[in-house]
Structure 1
């Protein structure tokens, strides 16, 4: 991926590497901002402050899962809350799925004491799988549902986690395939058309799913359906999803009575369920 970017951008290795370092720095800043103090809150008030709550819960030692999973949840929430609060994030591969990869990356940084260079390498690996997905299917919720956003991000994170933890390229592909397979069919149904509910917490699912897929791949488990075929399956599923379930905010959770009330409160508009 690094070599391809050097050729495509006609930049030096150092320039390309430093550009990815800037993306990492943005991720770090967003995660820190979202977990500091009481956290951040969106202008609508629909989301915010929950990453900080997770940090306090993790620090209490009362978590049901281990530190790695809790840290992934915390940083995933933080990143998407910063996005909802109009803060600076790195789209991975989209703004709506921007918390999935940081959640995994910063959890592994803590668990494996990753160096900055290792974290940058993680992002290049994730980017490679994201590029293949984008070129052969889609990564936008508007065209393929949330499976294309959080699903793709989860696969990217799983593959990079496998690679950075010493797995083979084949194992990385298996991790990607398992993570994406687990989220096929996931719809995009943002309440009030905003990237808040359920988007923020769906990124948590993407992060935890990626860690599980990476562990399975490192243990030698196989997805049985190859990564390339999983990507094409996602594409076919995405094309069959109705418009109401592709980021329009007209179906799914957005069309529930509570979701409709939230939209009315924010925009003063009723939801036309006949569209």
Structure 2
């Protein structure tokens, strides 16, 4: 019987992508490395539960879902989330940041100071700058202020992020320009919370960290995992939860949020570069960086 594993997702603990497995095992990923697995087990994807607890009914979830939770577990997880204001009394200091994903696509957000830039790497931010630091509720007020006054969103769909990666400016200075302008406008707002200490604009660029400089264009993305399906490809880039894999069909993006809930096993030998999960092709050729 083939050995199987359950993936908990992709993390960026030390500035590099790492696949985390149940039991604490980790697989560091690097350019040129091979990513190969198949969906094994009983052929169903089970809810991963919430807050460290297994799903009470072991519910089946869709292979297309990036959340990997049933409705009840998703509700429980959200109820204890800082992002959903489920922990208003969190005593930790928080950073407010501006993140940029491509031309005309910037967002505001918050992250615990102790996490450093991990949240930005997990989101696939091409570049970012801190705005300020302070108590959670002050950081929340600043976030809401920017949404209302500057019309900067706090969420951007991953599909939109992937679409603009093909049009990234070549120079880091060009990529930083929009953040610099927004940073100046943000700190000039009169309603800036007093408890939030402003920070200077220092843009951090992730293009090389992600491996996007000179990376070939992607032709599509994995739409879902299916029972018995498999993928085998060479890693050419990684951004946020996305792995960009060179396969016989070209470079295909695999959103690792599709993996949790499945039992995964090693792909069969001799199938290098093959992929037989459903692929959603990009509607137009993507040129330049991806």
Asked if Structure 1 and Structure 2 have the same fold, meaning a TM-score greater than 0.5 normalized by the shorter chain, the answer is: no
Larger Rg: 2
Output the TM-score relative to the length of structure 1: 0.28
- Structure 1 or 2: more strand by fraction: 2
